[in-house]
Structures are given as C-alpha cells and as structure tokens.
Amino acid sequence: MIDKLIRLSKIYPPKDLIENLSRPLTAKQGFAIKISRDAFEDVIVIDQTKKLLFYDQKGNVSGKSPTVKISGSNVDDFKKVVKKVAEFFNETALQNVYETIVGNLEAITEKAFQKYSESLGKDKPSFFTVIIDGKFPEDHPIVREIFVERVMEKSKSGIDGICATCGKKTKVTASANQVFKFITFDKPGFCPNLDKSQAVKVFPICENCLLLLENASNLIKNKLTFDFVGSNLWIIPSIVGDDPEILKAVTEKIASIGIGSVEITASKTLRDFSKLELSAEEILSEEGENVLYDFLLIKQSQSQQRIELHVSEVSPTRLRKLYECSKSISKLFEENGLDISMEKSSFKPGFEQLWYLFGKPAADEAGRKEYLNLVEACFTQNQFNYDRFLWYIMKKLRQTFHQFPENLKNDALSAFGNLLYLTAINVLRPTQGGAKMPQEEGIFDSFFDKFKEFFDEPWKKAVFLTGVLVKRVMEVQESRKGKSPFLKKLGGLKMNYNQIKYLLTESWKKLQQYDAFQSSDEILFSEASKYFLQASDVKASIDLLNFVLTLGMTFPRNLLLKNFERKVEGVSVNE
C-alpha cells in the first residue's frame, strides 16, 4: 500500500516543501491573533486559507505548527490552544512574537472566547493562527523556515540503513506513522521484542520518501477522500505497468466524482460516497483492466487513524457489475410499478440503503463490522451469510412493524430489492428451504417469473400469497373498526411455517365473517392452498418465512392482480 501511495505522489510533485508539508484544514473559519511591531492588536475571525501552515500535532505543547485546531469549548480549553500556538514561536528569531502572545494570554483568550460565544450556527471558528505585520504564516520567511525544520525534525535524525520504499542506503527513521497514523509501532506484534525503539527495523524510511508520503497524504485529502458511514473513505488508484499519465487521468476522474452534484452541499466538507455510489461505480468502471482500486475506510479520532476496512485491488469489471445490477433491479421495480419513496432520489439498491437496513450501526456496535464485511463482499464477490443478512433485515422490519407501521411497505420493498441485488452480484447465495418438487402451472406464474431468482420454491409463493390475504383482512378491519385486531395473530413476525399455514385459513374465515370475500380473494386463497400442497419438507428459517410473509403484506395488491382474469364465467380478478 505504501508503494502505491509513493507512486501516486510522484505524479503530483509539490512546488516546494511548504506545499508538501502543510496540511489542509476542514474548518471554514478561525481566529487570527494580529500582531504588529511586536505589539498585540486584536483577535479577528478569518476565513480558512491555504497560507496557515497547519500540521497535525500531538500533545498540549508540541509547537510544530503556527496554526492549531480548537479542541473544547470553554475558556480553559482556549487558553491551552493559545499556549500551543505560542510554543511554535519559542525560537530566538521569533522570540518577540512568543513573548507578545504569552504576555497577552488572558486578553487573547477572553476576546476569542467572547467572539466564539457570539457566533451562531455550526460553523463556529475552530482554529487559531497568527498574523504578523499583516502576513499570514506562509508569507513570513522565518515562520516558513522554522515550520519546515519542526515538521522534518524527526526525519533528520536517524540511523544508517536501507529505506524500505526506495531501497537506498541512507539515514532512515521510523517516521512513516507521523504522516499516516494507522501505521502503528507501539502495540504488541509491530516491533521486535515489543521494543518501540526498534521500530526503525520494521519500516525504515528515508527523508525523501517521507516527503513523498507527506505529498501523498495531501493528495488523498484534496482529491481522493469521501465520507462513508461516518468515516473517511480513500479511493487509491494503481496501474499494472508504468504509465504515469494513465494514473494521473484516473486520479483526476476520482477527484471529479460528484463535483457539481446536488449531493455536495455547503454544509458538507466531504463528498458522500453512499449517495454517489452509482455514478462513482460507473465512472471508475470505464477504465481498462490495467487499472485497480484500493478502498480504505479510515476512522479518524482527533490525531489518530484506524483502518476499519481495506479492500485491495478492485477491478473496473467488478465495479461495472455492481453498477449494472443496481440499475437492472431499479428498472425491474420501475417497470412493475413498485414505487419506493426515497428522499431526493429514486430507488437504487446499494450501500446507502443497506446501511439503513442494518440499522445504521455506530462504530462501537457489532452490526457495523458485519455491515463492512458485506461492503467488502460486494467489492470482492465473497459470500455473505444469507441467514445473517435476513436476520438484520427482519430485525429492521420488526422494528418498523411495531414502531413505524406506515413505513413497512417502503422498508420491505427496499429489503427485497437489495436482496435481489446482492444475489445478482453473487454475494448472497440463497439456502434451500424445502425439497424441490414439480410445480403445477399457476395463475400468478407470470408475476413470480419476474422474480424467479427469489420465488423458486412453492412454499415461498404460498407464504407470499398468504401475506397478501392477511393485508386484505387488516384493511377490511381498519375500514370498519378503525383498527386491526388481526395484527395480534402475526406473532410479532416470528411465526413458524405451520403457524403461517394456519394464518391462511384464519384470513379466509375473517373475510367471510365480515362478508367481504371477493372473487379475487378466492383466487388468492386457492392459489396459496395449491402451493402449500406442492411444498414438501420445508425447513426455512423463521426470518426467511416472515420476510416472505411481510413482503406479501406490503406488496401492492393491485399490481399482483393486474391483467389477470378468471377464466371461469369470465369474472375479472380486479374487483
């Protein structure tokens, strides 16, 4: 991975060391301490600029950068940040600036905190910097010089060795983790004899290659980073062979994804990959097979980074498969009138809806790890456990059933669409729920054939049609009583096969009791009964049984019965 980053870095050489070492800030506004002729003037609010010489730094008083992020929101927190800014100037050539800040510490803190408290909305000032005689840090020659020295200080010390990336014999250090924090040297297993001081033997790197990593880090932040389920997603391209122009063109394509899209808003600092997934997959799949992509999901916590997911060398062919299958399922739903209300967009199976169906698990929840395993499976075509997927789906649908019943149709159809999608991309492999038996021709065959990958067993068709009749009973009760007592018979959507079979008979009885039995109900009952008779040795899981039932309960009845006519006496099914 490091080799890929260095190779990428070489096609975007920085103009100078400052461009290489200075990190971008995501904050829109911050505070600047104005100093003129060694005297404190004021604290002003400024817009973010590239001239701040920002660099991530650990500890309360590290002094690597003249610009520091604000952490915390009380006066004491502000005072610590101002001290951290001052420490950068604790240098002979800038001693007057240091003494000016320290001598006016209380006044600077008070003014900044007052302006912070008065600011409205989310975009509060969130960094501190210094303007000296009207010059931003980058415009001040001495500040520039000291910034480079401080940042590169560790790399200039070191031992004689061979750089792990370029192979040259030179001075090397274990400094790669100051650029990419997920490179870890302080945990068991990373260093010989668990001795951190021996880390240089694990991954020695020379100053030149370290600068290339710094450049790669900036390149990733500026061009290749997306937001994905609350973490940073890096898409790192690589090529087979040596053609920097192809690599650069692919990098620019990634950088262009979503630019100008409605998904990019002023309130977001990063592009949302889950909302741009389809267009991203289309763009990335246009390349030849000599192009590959690494997907890294990085959890950023202050100055720490942790890799949540790393999918290596995904091919354009695989991304084309994801794109085409998603479009195909969307088209199938649209052609069959399956309307799923999606906020600001049409129905597109994929990562965003799967995240919703998994319950949007937080970083410390077990569901997040399984969701990311599913994401990895989509990119790699690995198998994801079918029963485990259904467990998450039914957990969501049961919650919706009890708490937000008005959303059950949307959630069930979305779950169905995503199940079909995952099956189409060979991530889910359905388990056999019953013995394969010859099936008689049925009235609804043309409907079931549209979804034949799912409705591949008689019992599924029987349970689905039972769900349609259950919904019919509930609608009759709601229209006459204002509520549906029949809900109590659904067992919280945790019924076994025999209970669902009994539900079919119960639905028949209730419709007769209310004198609401229609010819279309008779056909549904007859067909469901026939499929139950054809089913044999059904061993489907509780989750699969109840998913099929819920799908029938939420499926638009008029679409199922559309264009069907009862041949006996010419009675129309559409009543």
- HSE-CB at 298 with a 13 A cutoff on CA atoms is 24
Q: Residue type at 442?
A: G
467 and 531 Cβ atoms separated by less than 8 Å: no
- Locate all alpha helices (DSSP H) within 381-518, ordered by sequence: 386-403, 408-424, 445-450, 458-481, 497-513
Span 190-228, pLDDT tens digits = 444 445 667 788 889 998 898 898 889 889 988 999 999
Residue showing tokens 């590239």: 50
3-state secondary structure (DSSP) of residue 491: helix
| Stretch 240-248: mean pLDDT | 91
What six digits make up the tokens of 290?
């000599």
pLDDT at 569 exceeding the cut of 60: no
Q: Quick one: residue 258, left, alpha or beta (phi over 0 = left, psi -120 to 50 = alpha)?
A: left
In the chain, the N- to C-terminal Cα span, in Å, equals: 63
pLDDT at 181: 79
Pairing of strands 68-69, 127-132: antiparallel
Predicted confidence band at 376 (pLDDT cuts at 50, 70, 90)? very high
pLDDT at 407 exceeding the cut of 90: yes
d(CA 443, CA 523): 8
What six digits make up the tokens of 68?
């520091």
Q: What is the CA radius of gyration of the chain?
A: 31
pLDDT at 571: 43
Q: What is the mean pLDDT of the chain?
A: 86
**534 phi, psi to nearest 5 deg:** -75, -25
Span 88-132, pLDDT tens digits = 999 889 999 999 999 999 999 999 888 888 876 556 788 899 999
pLDDT at 175: 83
| Stretch 246-254: mean pLDDT | 95
Containing 529, the helix (H) or strand (E) segment is: helix 519-534
Residues paired with 296 in a beta bridge: 234, 310
Span 353-375, pLDDT tens digits = 999 999 998 877 889 999 999 99
Best mean pLDDT range from 56-60, 154-158, 533-537: 533-537
Predicted confidence band at 533 (pLDDT cuts at 50, 70, 90)? very high
| Stretch 447-460: mean pLDDT | 92
Q: Determine which of 77-91, 193-207, 299-313, 555-569 has the lowest per-residue pLDDT on average.
A: 555-569
* Number of CB atoms found within 10 A of residue 537's CB: 11
CA angle (107, 108, 111) in 5-degree steps: 80
Q: Residue type at 126?
A: S
Q: Tell me if the pTM is above 0.85.
A: no
Pairing of strands 29-36, 159-162: unpaired
| Stretch 443-465: mean pLDDT | 92
| Stretch 545-560: mean pLDDT | 92
pLDDT at 413 exceeding the cut of 60: yes
pLDDT at 570: 45
For residues 380, 382, 385, 389, the Cα torsion angle rounded to the nearest 10 degrees is 20
d(CA 232, CA 296): 8
Q: Determine the angle formed by the axes of helices 458-481 and 542-554, rounding to 10 degrees.
A: 50
pLDDT at 58 exceeding the cut of 90: no
Span 164-192, pLDDT tens digits = 999 999 989 888 887 887 776 655 444 44
d(CA 513, CA 275): 49
Give the residue from 115, 117, 90, 114 showing the smallest Cα distance to 102.
90
| Stretch 275-284: mean pLDDT | 95
pLDDT at 262: 47
- Give, in order, the Cα–Cα distances in Å from 332 to each of 337, 357, 425, 436, 554: 9, 20, 15, 26, 17
| Stretch 517-543: mean pLDDT | 92
d(CA 373, CA 484): 40
pLDDT at 378: 98
pLDDT at 573: 44
| Stretch 317-333: mean pLDDT | 96
Give the residue from 335, 304, 328, 318 showing the smallest Cα distance to 447.
335
d(CA 384, CA 427): 6
Q: Determine the angle formed by the axes of helices 316-335 and 408-424, rounding to 10 degrees.
A: 140
Q: Determine which of 17-21, 55-59, 398-402 has the lowest per-residue pLDDT on average.
A: 55-59
3-state secondary structure (DSSP) of residue 308: strand
pLDDT at 474: 93
Span 431-440, pLDDT tens digits = 765 555 556 6
Reported in sequence order, the residue ranges of 133-185 that DSSP labels E, i.e. its strands, are 159-162, 169-172
What six digits make up the tokens of 393?
């789906």
| Stretch 299-316: mean pLDDT | 88
pLDDT at 218: 86
DSSP per residue over 399-426, as a string?
HHHHH-GGGHHHHHHHHHHHHHHHHHTT
Span 462-509, pLDDT tens digits = 999 999 999 999 999 998 888 888 989 999 999 999 999 999 999 999
Span 126-142, pLDDT tens digits = 889 999 999 999 999 99
299 and 372 Cβ atoms separated by less than 8 Å: no
Give the residue from 390, 407, 392 showing the smallest Cα distance to 355.
392
